[in-house]
């Protein structure tokens, strides 16, 4: 049930980005940030969003980065070896692949940070513009039960 709810909310939120649809309800608990993640930064970039267990996180990353001479230009999904991919980390937990588009229900708590995966950052260029949405469970309106005809 929780996974279905997360998928429904995600589809609504994503439709606003791609189709300009209006959400019939608003909630000031939903947070939306745009974060620039530089390919030359070997440290984690903070989104300044405090994630709680059960939050639905939506990430959409735009742009390309050049990751060294050999890898070349890649989007946030990265090259086949993973270089140039957008990674995330919540609190002091381990890093995980985010990619260009991702949605998940958090099972960790802490500040969400982002980073581009690479071994040598000095020969990189470009950045990703990353839109991050945090939807706490209490921001989701109650649903109406619809019975089959």
For domain 2-139, which architecture applies? Sandwich (2.60)
In whole numbers, what is the pLDDT of the chain averaged over residues?
86
**Residue (of 65, 28, 21, 39) closest to 120 by Cα position:** 39
pLDDT in tens, 23-40: 444 567 899 999 999 999
pLDDT in tens, 69-97: 888 899 999 999 999 999 999 999 899 99
Q: What tokens does 42 get?
A: 């070997």
pLDDT score of 17: 46
> Could you tell me the residue ranges of all domains in the chain?
2-139
pLDDT in tens, 101-134: 999 999 999 999 999 999 999 999 999 999 999 9
Q: Which residues contact 69 (CB under 8 A, 6 or more apart)?
A: 123
């Amino acid at each position: 049930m929780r996974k279905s709810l997360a998928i429904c909310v995600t589809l609504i939120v994503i439709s606003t980005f791609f189709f300009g649809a209006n959400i019939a309800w608003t909630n000031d608990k939903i947070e939306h940030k745009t974060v620039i993640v530089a390919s030359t930064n070997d440290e984690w970039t903070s989104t300044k969003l405090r994630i709680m267990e059960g939050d639905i996180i939506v990430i959409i990353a735009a742009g390309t980065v050049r990751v060294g001479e050999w890898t070349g230009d890649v989007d946030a999904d990265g090259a086949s070896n993973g270089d140039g991919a957008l990674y995330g980390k919540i609190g002091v937990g381990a890093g995980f692949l985010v990619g260009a588009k991702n949605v998940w229900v958090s099972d960790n708590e802490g500040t969400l940070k982002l980073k581009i995966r690479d071994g040598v950052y000095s020969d990189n260029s470009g950045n990703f513009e990353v839109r991050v949405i945090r939807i706490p469970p209490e921001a989701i309106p109650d649903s109406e039960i619809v019975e089959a005809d």
